[in-house]
Amino acid sequence: MEAQVQVAQAPYISSVASRYLNRELSQIEFTRRVLALAEDPLLPLLERVRFLAILGEVLDQFFQVRVAGLKEQLLAAHPPVSPDGLTPTEQLLAIRTGVEAVVTRAASLINQEIAPGLKNARICLVRTDELDETDRGYVAGVFRDRIFPVLTPLAVDPAHPFPYISNLSLNLAVMVRDAPRRQLRFARVKVPPLLPRFVALPDGHRFITLEQVIALHLQALFPGMDVVSHHAFRVTRDADLELVDEEAADLLATIQSELRRLQRKAAVVRLEVEATMTDEVLGLLMRELELEPTDVYKTDGLLDLSALWALYGLDRPDLKDEPWNPVTQRRLQGAGKEPPDLFRVLRQGDILVHHPYDSFATSVEAFIDQAALDGGVLAIKQTLYRTSGPASPIVKSLIRAAEAGKQVVALVELKARGDEQANIAWAQALEQAGVHVAYGVVGLKTHAKVTLVVRNEDGVIRRYVHIGTGNYNPKTAQIYEDVGLLSADPKLGTDVSELFNFLTGYSRQRRFGKLLVAPVGLRSSVIRLIRQGGKPGGRIILKVNSLVDPEIVDALYEASQAGAEIDLIVRGMCCLRPGVPGLSERIRVRSIVGRFLEHSRIFRFGPEHDGVEYYLGSSDLMPRNLDRRVEAMVPIEHAPLQDRLAEILQVELSDDTQAWELKSDGSWTRIPSQRGINAQHVFQELAVARARSGQSAADA
């Protein structure tokens, strides 16, 4: 087990000759790093369960988008080759090898360590053959009262075609025999997704899966028939929304129509089945779902690891990390019980916030809430990519501001992957409240995280802004690591005004005073900054979620060859090969995977001391971010705030408990712990110390 924790192998990457690593296989390496956390015996037990749930979600997303995209490429007359030289077929075969290894390790971990550990902690996952007579009576009552009424068995015969199997649904494939006719028939029973996946037994510490409860009572669904066999299976479909006509008169209606089409017509890209499924049933499923053997993943563990979130939600603080309560920076604390006048505070100087260590509620939410209530505020404009819906404090503030007669504009991204339907719902709620809702620029997703507040101050119009790396979502702000800038800088306010004109009107704005904006100039600006730093004594540090873009990778190679020292902190995918002699020997790549999801994007360019430039914003270094999305990166020019960003980067580069190092062959190795530095723990300590000492971000 120790070897699995320390090294994430990459057996399918055999050559270091290529300039690029494969992005899909790099993503699989990220799943290995997540799995390594679940394998870590030093973590609290339910935190290990949480990482298994996260692993399930990451794999689901990977198949719905990336694998689905590769399968579509197979249909092209001339399938494209990836930058690292692999065909779609080669990538799919390599993905199969990598994912199968991850799934096998996860199932073994659950069976051999997690389930026994939970049992020792009085959280028992039981099977039907472990139920006594009293248990069976209780489960029968639960089935009769809560489960049976919502089940719909669907038969397959000449009069009943094979049913549609919805995306990510868990099902039972049931074989029944009509005794008089001696005919075998197939039926599908969908496990209701709205019911709890784990059924608690009366003692409160034993749980049985919902599909086992249903399987135990299949005879009630097929009276008069003999139930011959039953096997659980799960289907994953293409979930990537593609609009043929983004210039349709009603984009919202077009997206709603495409979502309905996707729900019914999307191709199946993965079939997960119990290892005990018979060849006869598996063959039927593969035939009806039009799948190849390489699309099938057998497991002797739990189907749908994301269901483990239910166990993590149990009230067992003794099996979890100590809860973290974000702190409020001194300048945002106000005097006594009175909240601070944030507009006055920002006129005195910019504020940098670092979530979840700095409170989202007392910074970003408070900024928008105060703007909604302030009599001098004339307008609020905000981009919304993902949020927590109509109940979000930010959405409520926008509605309150609109009802008060303020000019309120919400730029809602309807194409935010996975949240399309939710975004449509609360976009309509905003419109009904009087908020002006716009859907962005044709052909581009709006991924920028910006807010503009326009205020009349004694006849003078002043602008206040927030620009960040994370979504305006109070829930994810508690578990995602992000940074943001609150500012009253007039030039920055002008830039953000121009950006909103670009998003909501017919502006062809191509140049901005301070902001770096995609797709109109961010790519060229980043390459220019890398090249400027590409010299002896040059220093470049980039913290991103993903580094995929070949042009950016090539620019970093050139900077390394020119003598610059380069450190890259990349949470997920990285297509750059570090440490290759003559190409990238001065480039080091690390990944930090821990309790909080590393999500901020911070760019640092320049020599060690003089002329250093810092940027933060919404963009990763991927073609989609640089060319097909509206992104915003803001320079951090105030020296104390630069020092704060320098501190963040330095702490992450010093981490030796959560950090992994990328090798030139594409494998990731856990960095040996020598000083025991956990960056996320350090940030918690720094946040508390600043709040208690009275130091502000600007003074720290």
Region of residue 411 (left: phi > 0; alpha: psi -120 to 50; beta: else)? beta
Q: Going by C-beta distance under 8 Å and a sequence separation of 6 or more, which residues neighbour residue 689?
A: 695
Give dist(CA 375, CA 263) in Å, integer. Answer: 46
Distance in Å from the first CA to the final CA of the chain: 42
Instruction: Output the six-digit token pair for 540.
Output: 């470049």
Residues 457/344, Cβ–Cβ less than 8 Å: no
Helices 251-265 and 420-432: crossing angle in degrees, nearest 10, is: 150
| Of residues 547, 546, 562, 542, the one with CA closest to residue 613 | 542
Work out the angle at residue 134's Cα, subtended by the Cα atoms of residues 145 and 277, and round it to the nearest 5 degrees: 70
Question: Apex CA 597: angle with CA 672 and CA 47, to 5°?
Answer: 75
Task: Dihedral sign for Cα 58, 63, 64, 67, please.
Answer: positive
Give which of 338, 611, 334, 601 is closest to 485, Cα–Cα: 601
Residue matched to tokens 């996946």: 197
Residue 468: φ, ψ to 5°: -140, 180
User: Do 487 and 464 form a contact (C-beta atoms < 8 A)?
Assistant: yes
User: What is the pairing mode between strands 597-598 and 480-487?
Assistant: parallel
**Side-chain half-sphere of 695: how many Cα atoms within 13 Å?**
13
Q: Which residues are identified as catalytic? A: 447
CB-CB contact of 385 with 367 (8 Å)? no
What totals of helices (H) and strands (E) does the chain contain, helices first? Answer: 21, 28
- Please give the full DSSP string across 241-262, using - where no structure is assigned: ---S-TT-S-HHHHHHHHHHHH
Q: CA dihedral defined by 153, 156, 162, 164, rounded to 10 degrees?
A: 0
Q: Which two tokens stand for residue 395?
A: 């959405």
Identity of the amino acid at 183 = Q
Q: In the block, which residue shows the tokens 């449509």?
A: 424
- Alpha-helix residue ranges (DSSP H) falling in 41-87: 45-61, 68-73
648 in helix, strand or coil?
Answer: helix
Q: Which strand (E) or helix (H) includes residue 633?
A: strand 629-636
CA–CA separation, 123 vs 631, rounded Å? 45
**667 vs 569: CA distance, rounded Å:** 15
